[in-house]
Structure 1
């Protein structure tokens, strides 16, 4: 069985079909991550509809900082706390200094990020991190907080920070990009299977093919190839990693 630990379920126009395909391919759970205040509300509704299969992780993505006011930040924290008993994580949160080019927004990004980290501490929930282009700063900021656990999604570098992440006990989720990305393959080589998970980041496209939860099977196959382990062993370990990390109560 598989768990897709990072999926933007609200962005699929045909999510019912996505769920059907996921179920046919052995996916037992999907972690639905939010990006902004609006998607937080949508994901809450979707996860309620697919209770026991889709699990909500609410947070403010750094890309949403330009459309997040101080009032919206307050509303987001309140929404998170009001739904705390149903949440499995805070995310997708972090910093982005790669796709977000307006440097004047970086302090506001950090303000939002720190508020999300404080909220995760208050609720004793793990965090799902977006680190693109701001990896060193994020690792430094994390030292100021104590989230229950840390999952870094789709990490591609710098390579020297991987060892620091390993020492700190951070988890890393692997996308279908592992089938072609040398950076992702390097990460898989470095990190023990006990700290890896699978994610689609759907509906992001990989080689012009839409990512979906069903792709977790492909990811496990490639990880097994890189590690020299059996697919069955990798599937079992990564599944247990996700269930333990998110404390999932599955309908299986």
Structure 2
């Protein structure tokens, strides 16, 4: 089987009995975190399975924790800085805002995001970003402000103008199995450089199309890479190799 890395999965949300099999499907996985409890769970899984690379952060599609809770999370990340490959998942709550379910003001979410970006700079870590459409412009402003070079926009969605900004800054994006049936994502892949592209499942998030009713697993990424090969009109082996190199170099998962 060709080498592959799942660059964005919530492995801590799977059942214990499923994780060993999931891990066996790829060469490495970047398991992102939702909060402090999630960070601790991902770290414990990484100690059991060396191919798991944990990322520590706070997912934006939820209520902002208190100042004390944030301070506790930041303190814990500092103590575990050598055991994480990135700060993430972090970003802005596009979907909460779309559903009019924000508890705090958007300015507060931006403030929290900037504090995590500063932490990443301080610890010299890449950032894993939940930022789509207009939110991605705000995030780019912050990344440029703090001179962040290694940024990964997971499951990216956005207009061509925004794609150009990401390309100019040499930020990475990752593509999920929805590439097989979402025209919007197919157009993004068509116009984005392959040397800035990675693949992910965002599991256990479920997919449609040929994946309806199936548990999201890293093995689905072989179909994703096959679709990239067709869109880019490149040899399949070459696409596998370059995406693996991109992922390995970004997260240093050797």
- TM-score, normalised on structure 2? 0.91
1:112 aligns with 2:109: no
- Structure 2: tracts of 5 or more residues without a match: none
1:132 Cα deviation (Å)? 3.4
1:34 match: 33
Q: 52, 55, 71: which one pairs with 2:53?
A: 55
Q: Distance in 2 between matches of 1:164 and 1:136?
A: 9
Asked if structure 1 preserves the Cα contact closer than 8 Å seen for 2:149 and 2:169, the reply is no
The equivalent residue for 2:87 is 90
CA RMSD, 1 decimal: 1.6
Misfit runs of 4+, over 4 Å: none
The question of 1:248 aligning with 2:253 is answered yes
Deviates more, 1:140-149 or 1:111-120: 140-149
1:231-246 maps to which residues of 2 (within 5 A)? 231-246=236-251
Cross-structure match for 2:179: 178
Query: Alignment length, in residue pairs?
Result: 244
Within 5 A, what are the aligned runs for 1:7-156?
Answer: 7-14=9-16, 16-23=17-24, 25=25, 27-51=26-50, 53-64=51-62, 66-100=63-97, 101=100, 102=102, 104-133=104-133, 134-156=135-157
CA contact (8 A) 1:124 1:148 kept: no
Secondary structure, counterpart of 2:173 in structure 1: strand
The match for 1:221 among 215, 222, 226 is: 226
How far is 1:244 from its partner? 0.5
Asked if structure 1 preserves the Cα contact closer than 8 Å seen for 2:154 and 2:175, the reply is yes
TM-score, normalising length: structure 1: 0.92
Residues 173 and 196, structure 1, Cα contact 8 Å, conserved in 2:
yes
Secondary structure in structure 1 of the residue aligned to 2:198:
strand
Larger relative contact order, structure 1 or 2 (CA cutoff 8 Å, min sep 6): 1
The alpha-carbon distance between structure 1 residues 99 and 74, as it changes in their structure 2 partners (threshold 3 A), is: same
1:92 & 1:227 partners in 2: Cα distance?
29
SS of the aligned residue for 1:206 comes to coil
CA contact (8 A) 1:96 1:132 kept: no
